[in-house]
Amino acid sequence: LPLANAVTASRVSSSELRRLVSSPKPPSRSVTRKRIMSCASKGKQEWAKVELPKGAERPKLVVFDLDNTMWTPELYQLQTLPVPGRDINLFKGARAALFELATDPAWRDTKVAAASRTEDVLWAEDLLKRFDAADGVTMDKLFHVKEIYPGSKRRHFERLKKKTGIGFNEMIFFDDSTWNTDEIEQMGVLCVFNPRGLTTDLWNLGLQEYAAMKKNKESFMGKTIGVNKRRRRYYY
């Protein structure tokens, strides 16, 4: 992805985001759980995997927000326990990332975590057990650590560091809110802003940026990046 001019903005309006960021629509609500499992199992054919340079460093901890990052709609918008494939769906880019993490040996030394401020904790935990990352691998099984409770994302990340022993400069975080990314980048974590769900462009961008910063031996990784409507790198 070619570099665009750096842009500084601590907050981005929703109207500006619509102009700057494009994302594929989430899967149809008519998709069944069987279809979700099928999509995961065929991920290598359906989505292009990022090709990092040989020897490029990968994050030791990949952290995902849940609402509007991994799935849609957000849990607060629902009235009853959601059924995967009927009431709630994973974004295409999220399915691709999960499948890669679950099946590619290159990720064997990387841990995966969830960091969510949702108040619907039990619903989120239930969905992690029902959505599949790959055949026989649920999101719950793939995620080594799950910090799911209301409050500050800073608390989530402090506990992630304590539980995993992984430093902030070896993490990458995907989230749909600049409120969260502003807070976490100050801790030294590379953040990727996905205002309309995780896309393959943003997944690839995050991994490429992480590898480039490590190659340049940058010790402080704290910043937030995304892509504009021309699929070019964009700094917040």
Pair 157, 113: CB distance under 8 Å: no
Pair 173, 66: CB distance under 8 Å: no
Vertex 85: Cα angle to 82 and 88 (nearest 5):
45
User: Could you tell me whether strands 190-193 and 171-175 are parallel, antiparallel, or unpaired per DSSP bridges?
Assistant: parallel
Contacts of 19 (CB under 8 A, 6+ apart): 229
DSSP string, 134-171: ETTEEHHHH-SEEEESSS-HHHHHHHHHHHH---GGGE
Cα–Cα distance for residue pair 56/75, rounded to 1 Å: 36
**Residues 65, 120, 132, 201: which is the catalytic one?**
65
Pair 228, 234: CB distance under 8 Å: yes
Reference 170, options 55, 54, 61, 97; nearest CA is 61
67 is an active site residue:
yes
Vertex 141: Cα angle to 30 and 149 (nearest 5):
80
Q: State the catalytic residues.
A: 65, 67
